[in-house]
């Protein structure tokens, strides 16, 4: 029977596969539309005829560097704007393309009315990134007046910011030499934050179960999740997962289980326990396909684990590693959102951990699961061991889990806390350090912090934090702060 001839039902009332309240295909609106508004002033061309070609080339090279940083064909550039007519043409091109972020360079000073004409064509929701640039990091003592006009962007950008403040226009601002790779890295950070927030606004998270009883720090209002953080939370009855679990083919289980056992050291993880967890993991993946989910959040304890006879954390880790589907446990929807942002901003798979202990000798915070994360959190596959589950919540057998410690390197940590009317984002940076992998049947980490660790912990607890702490390799504080601003929520930096 063709899809169009099937009876359309609610996702929660039938298993037909055609649901009136579920998108049939993934959303196509996750890509950020970026425009490059590059300016020069027509009046200077008649005064200094050689200047126009020089500035045009400066801006063309800037566009090339943007695309090297952000991706080929990712930035719409309609050419240098130097007159009001060109501003009209460029503005209409941006509007037609649905530009959501406009990056503004000035190759020379240019009056506000020309720049604003192009900007105003884009619509009131277009975000503006003003970039003050010049050629060379220092003033050349041999520069004549034409050379100073080539580097007169600061006059125009400063003037534009004054006008923006009077008009109450929001904007981001960066400053750097026009060929400096660090400048384009900063631009990429802002772009990544925008991309993450746009993705979350078109994001559906499936929730199987509920927040673990008594974890009030993780409780959430679905309207406030949708209104500020972005995702639609779709509560899915466990029977849907159980049905898919019952339908998983033995040959698919055997293939994945054999791959795990061959790939990693195994410390007393029984074959039957490996297969049970793999079977549940395959069913979890099928659930995301059935309901076109972008992410998954679940309650394992005495819920999924009791019904399927296996812990769900290995399935979550497999989806993160192999399918780039962020998955969180204990009903932690806000933690899932943080995982998505961190992955979007760094390209690295995040770790859902819990605050553990402080370590004065290393001035570090020890993080311990209820952990969900990909094996590439570890230094290598040889540093990962298959073990039984460290906790038993209603399943039979020994369960299955990864035992690993995070590899060394800079990390970013964060989460959200509901503030009643809104949310606040907790952000912290540290360094994952070399430390023996504990024989704890669990993912864990030792994170060195900048301030004395006892004071660091005191300030964290004083601010109020969730007991989960999402951690990712890489420095992403700037991106997280920008994402929080786009979400209209406050930040707390630890």
Q: Check which CATH number belongs to the domain holding 185 and give it.
A: 3.40.50.10940
Q: Which of 145, 173, 199 is the last residue of a domain?
A: 199
Residues 231-249: pLDDT tens digits? 999 999 888 899 999 999 9
Residues 359, 474: one domain? Answer: yes
Residues 213, 140: one domain? Answer: no
H or E stretch including 468? strand 468-473
Residue 24 pLDDT: 66
Residue 395 pLDDT: 83
Residues 207-235: pLDDT tens digits? 988 877 878 777 788 899 899 899 999 99
Residue 16 clears pLDDT 70, i.e. is over it? no
* 3-class secondary-structure state, position 372: strand
Residue 488 clears pLDDT 90, i.e. is over it? yes
Residue at 95 is within a domain? yes
Residues 463, 475: one domain? Answer: yes
472 vs 138 pLDDT, higher one: 472
Residue at 468 is within a domain? yes
Rg (CA), the chain: 26
Q: Check which CATH number belongs to the domain holding 361 and give it.
A: 3.20.14
Q: What is the DSSP string of 312-370?
A: SHHHHHHHHHHH---EEETT-HHHHHHHHHHHHHHSS--EEEEEEEEETTTTEEEEEEE
Residue at 5 is within a domain? no
> Into how many domains does the chain fold?
2
Residue 55: CB partners within 8 Å, gap ≥ 6? Answer: 40, 80, 107, 108, 150
Residue at 397 is within a domain? yes
| pTM: predicted TM-score of the whole model, two decimal places | 0.87
Residues 189, 117: one domain? Answer: yes
β-partners of residue 386 are: 266, 402
Residue at 25 is within a domain? no
Residues 301, 235: one domain? Answer: yes
The rounded percent of the chain whose pLDDT value lies above 90 is: 72
Residues 168, 227: one domain? Answer: no
Mean pLDDT, residues 54-71 taken together: 95
Domain hosting residue 136, numbered range = 34-199
The rounded percent of the chain whose pLDDT value lies above 70 is: 95
Residue 232: CB partners within 8 Å, gap ≥ 6? Answer: 203, 204, 205, 226
Residues 384-423: pLDDT tens digits? 999 999 888 788 888 999 999 999 999 999 999 998 888 9
Cα–Cα distance list, 106 to 35, 59, 128 (Å):
14, 8, 14
Residue at 323 is within a domain? yes
Residue 1 pLDDT: 41
Q: Which of 173, 199, 225 is the last residue of a domain?
A: 199
State the chain's mean pLDDT as an integer. 91
Residues 46, 192: one domain? Answer: yes
Residues 152, 40: one domain? Answer: yes
Mean pLDDT, residues 484-488 taken together: 93
Residues 168, 268: one domain? Answer: no
Residues 221, 363: one domain? Answer: yes
Give the CA angle between residues 69, 188, 430 to the nearest 5°: 120
Q: Which of 9-23, 43-57, 296-310 has the lowest mean pLDDT?
A: 9-23
Residue at 6 is within a domain? no
Residues 194, 282: one domain? Answer: no
| 4: confidence class by pLDDT, cuts 50, 70, 90 | low
Residue 46 pLDDT: 94
Q: Which of 154, 178, 199 is the last residue of a domain?
A: 199
User: Could you write out the three-class secondary structure of 391-412?
Assistant: CCCCCCCCCCEEEEECCCEEEE
Residue at 291 is within a domain? yes
Residue 2 clears pLDDT 60, i.e. is over it? no
Residues 190, 228: one domain? Answer: no
């Amino acid at each position: 029977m063709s899809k169009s001839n099937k009876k359309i039902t609610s996702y929660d009332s039938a298993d037909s596969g055609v649901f009136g309240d579920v998108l049939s295909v993934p959303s196509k609106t996750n890509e950020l539309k970026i425009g490059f508004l590059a300016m020069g002033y027509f009046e200077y061309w008649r005064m200094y005829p050689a200047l126009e070609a020089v500035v045009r080339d400066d801006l063309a090279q800037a566009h090339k560097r943007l695309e090297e940083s952000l991706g080929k064909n990712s930035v719409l550039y309609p050419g240098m704007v130097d007159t009001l007519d060109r501003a009209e043409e460029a503005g209409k091109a941006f509007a037609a393309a649905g530009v959501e972020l406009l990056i503004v360079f000035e190759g020379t000073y240019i009056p506000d009315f020309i720049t604003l004409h192009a900007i105003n064509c884009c619509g009131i929701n277009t975000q503006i990134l003003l970039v003050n640039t010049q050629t060379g990091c220092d003033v050349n003592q041999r520069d004549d007046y034409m050379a100073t006009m080539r580097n007169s962007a600061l006059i125009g950008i400063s003037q534009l910011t004054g006008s923006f403040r009077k008009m109450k226009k929001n904007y981001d601002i960066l400053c750097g030499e026009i060929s400096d790779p660090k400048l384009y890295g900063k631009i990429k950070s802002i772009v990544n934050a925008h991309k993450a927030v746009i993705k979350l606004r078109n994001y559906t998270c499936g929730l199987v179960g509920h927040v673990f009883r008594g974890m009030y720090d993780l409780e959430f209002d679905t309207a406030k999740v949708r209104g500020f953080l972005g995702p639609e939370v779709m509560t899915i009855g466990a029977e849907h997962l159980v049905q898919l679990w019952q339908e998983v083919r033995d040959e698919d289980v055997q293939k994945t289980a054999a791959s795990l056992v061959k790939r990693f050291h195994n410390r007393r993880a029984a074959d039957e326990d490996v297969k049970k967890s793999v079977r549940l993991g395959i069913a979890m993946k099928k659930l995301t396909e059935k309901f076109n989910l972008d992410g998954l959040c679940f309650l394992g304890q005495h819920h999924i684990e009791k019904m399927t006879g296996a812990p769900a954390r290995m399935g979550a880790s497999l989806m993160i590693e192999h399918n780039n589907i962020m998955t969180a446990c204990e009903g932690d929807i806000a933690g899932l959102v943080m995982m998505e942002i961190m992955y979007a901003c760094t390209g690295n798979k995040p770790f859902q951990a819990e605050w553990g202990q402080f370590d004065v000798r290393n001035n570090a915070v020890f993080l311990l699961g209820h952990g969900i994360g990909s094996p590439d959190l570890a230094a290598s596959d040889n540093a990962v061991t298959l073990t039984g589950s460290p906790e038993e919540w209603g399943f039979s057998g020994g369960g299955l889990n990864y035992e690993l410690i995070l590899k060394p390197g800079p990390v970013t940590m964060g989460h959200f806390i509901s503030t009643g009317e809104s949310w606040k984002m907790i952000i912290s940076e540290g360094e994952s350090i070399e430390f023996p992998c504990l024989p704890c049947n669990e993912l864990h980490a030792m994170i060195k912090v900048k301030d004395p660790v006892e004071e660091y912990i005191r300030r964290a607890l004083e601010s109020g934090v969730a007991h989960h702490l999402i951690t990712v390799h890489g420095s992403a504080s700037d991106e997280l702060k920008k994402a929080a601003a786009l979400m209209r929520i406050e930040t707390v930096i630890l």
